[in-house]
């Protein structure tokens, strides 16, 4: 680190030697101070810029991994499966509409649509088995499942959030890894899965089940399949998409479930308790490693 005062002295001396003159003492002192000031300002500017660079780099890099690859792939399979089921299922429910006819024509007939519907169904059943194994036999899965279990705090958070939304308080509920909204979505899928997969299997393998169940079971299966499909579609399109993507905080798209990454800023706003937990763990493990080094 160079010292501005010494640097100024050096510059003046160099000039004196070059021109072969000696400056008046008073003028020399004044010049020295002026040069000193300029050097100081320059140094300050450089320092600031350097700091900015560091800060920017930090911001770019500071994110958390919210979802493991396993969860992301589960969600992707489920999402594609459900979209396929909705697209091929709705024209059957609304078979009287013009767009249903248009859709079947576009896709190559109801027989093609039938096959696609079963592909979607296969993906749905596959992911339900996958998820069951995941939460039963992997440590990560067990932890996630525990995090998703409803507890008293969720009801308090719900109450707090309503107050916040109504403007009665300025304190947002402090969510952990999963907010009550996310937990609701998770458990709603169980209900939907049970109804859709069971009734769907009865309808898919009706020739097999005809030997087992009375006729009215098929009527119930058809009605439940159709009605629950409607409920699930509306819940996904309106509720899930609003909370995940279309709400004003994140509009229009939240990539976290596909990339797994969440920024520190969003982490602090949406999952403050989890942030604290992670930071505490980090500190503790760092402390431990320091101890080890010592």
Partner 1 sequence: MRLLHLTLIFLLIEIANAQLKNERCFICHGVKNFGIVEQGKFKSLYVSREDFESSVHSKFACVSCHVDVRVIPHLAKPQKIHCLQCHFEGNVVGAPVTAKPEKYKESVHARAIAKGKNAPDCKDCHTVHYVRRPNDPKSTVFKANVPELCGRCHTSIKEEYYNSIHWAGIQKGELSSAVCTDCHQEHDILPPEDPRSSLNPKNVVGTCEKCHSDVKLMKRVGVPVKNPEAYKESFHGIALKFGVVRAANCASCHEYHNVLPSRDPRSPIHPANLAKTCGKCHPRANENVAKGKFHVLPGEKESGIVYYVYTFFKWFTLIVLVGLFTHIALDLIGHLRRKRKKSEK
| Site residues for partner 1 per CB under 8 A | 92, 95, 101, 104, 109-111, 162, 164-167, 203, 206-208, 210-220, 222-224, 227-228, 230-231, 234-235, 238-239, 242, 247-249
Residue 21's Cβ-side half-sphere holds a number of Cα atoms within 13 Å equal to 7
Supply the minimum distance, in Å, between the C-beta of residue 238 and partner 1.
6
Report how far apart, in Å, the C-alpha atoms of 81 and of each of 14, 117, 152, 218, 253 are. 79, 9, 33, 24, 20
Supply the minimum distance, in Å, between the C-beta of residue 125 and partner 1.
21
Supply the minimum distance, in Å, between the C-beta of residue 210 and partner 1.
5
- In the bound state with partner 1, the residue whose beta carbon lies nearer, of 101 and 265, is 101
State the DSSP code for 168: S
Supply the minimum distance, in Å, between the C-beta of residue 231 and partner 1.
5
- In the bound state with partner 1, the residue whose beta carbon lies nearer, of 26 and 96, is 96
- C-alpha torsion angle, residues 163, 254, 191, 125 (rounded to 10): -170
Supply the minimum distance, in Å, between the C-beta of residue 285 and partner 1.
37
The angle subtended at Cα 65 by Cα 64 and Cα 66, nearest 5°, is 100
> Within 10 A of 42 (CB to CB), how many other CB atoms are there?
11
- In the bound state with partner 1, the residue whose beta carbon lies nearer, of 35 and 82, is 82
Q: What is the rounded distance in angstroms from the CA atom of residue 76 to the CA atom of residue 53?
A: 37
Beta bridge partners of 242: none
- In the bound state with partner 1, the residue whose beta carbon lies nearer, of 67 and 240, is 240
Q: Can you list the alpha helix ranges (DSSP code H) found in the chain?
A: 4-19, 25-61, 69-93, 98-107, 110-137, 139-148, 152-166, 180-204, 206-209, 215-234, 241, 256-259, 264-270, 272-293
- In the bound state with partner 1, the residue whose beta carbon lies nearer, of 220 and 279, is 220
Beta bridge partners of 65: 261
Supply the minimum distance, in Å, between the C-beta of residue 188 and partner 1.
9
> Within 10 A of 36 (CB to CB), how many other CB atoms are there?
18
Supply the minimum distance, in Å, between the C-beta of residue 47 and partner 1.
34
- In the bound state with partner 1, the residue whose beta carbon lies nearer, of 37 and 219, is 219
- In the bound state with partner 1, the residue whose beta carbon lies nearer, of 76 and 92, is 92
């Amino acid at each position: 680190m160079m010292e501005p005062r010494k640097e100024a002295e050096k510059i003046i001396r160099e000039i004196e030697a070059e021109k072969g003159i000696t400056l008046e003492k008073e003028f020399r002192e004044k010049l020295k101070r002026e040069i000193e000031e300029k050097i100081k300002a320059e140094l300050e500017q450089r320092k600031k810029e350097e700091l900015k660079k560091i800060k920017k780099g930090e911001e770019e890099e500071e994110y958390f991994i919210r979802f493991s690859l396993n969860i992301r792939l589960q969600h992707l399979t489920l999402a594609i499966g459900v979209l396929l089921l909705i697209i091929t299922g709705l024209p059957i429910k609304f078979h009287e509409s013009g767009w249903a006819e248009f859709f079947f024509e576009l896709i190559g007939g109801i027989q093609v649509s039938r096959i696609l519907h079963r592909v979607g169904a296969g993906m749905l059943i596959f992911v339900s088995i996958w998820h069951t194994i995941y939460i039963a036999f992997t440590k990560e899965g067990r932890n996630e499942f525990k995090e998703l279990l409803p507890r008293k705090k969720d009801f308090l958070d719900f109450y707090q959030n309503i107050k916040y939304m109504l403007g009665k308080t300025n304190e947002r509920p402090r969510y952990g890894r999963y907010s009550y909204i996310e937990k609701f979505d998770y458990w709603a899928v169980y209900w939907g899965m049970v109804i859709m997969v069971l009734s769907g299997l009865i309808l898919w393998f009706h020739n097999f089940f005809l030997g087992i169940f009375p006729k009215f079971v098929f009527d119930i299966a058809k009605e439940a399949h159709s009605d629950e499909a409607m409920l699930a579609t509306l819940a996904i399109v309106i509720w899930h998409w609003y909370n995940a993507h279309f709400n004003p905080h994140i509009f229009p798209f939240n990539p976290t479930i596909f990339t797994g990454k969440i920024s520190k800023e969003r982490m602090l706003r949406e999952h403050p308790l989890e942030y604290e937990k992670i930071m505490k763990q980090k500190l503790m493990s760092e402390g431990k490693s320091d101890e080890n080094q010592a």
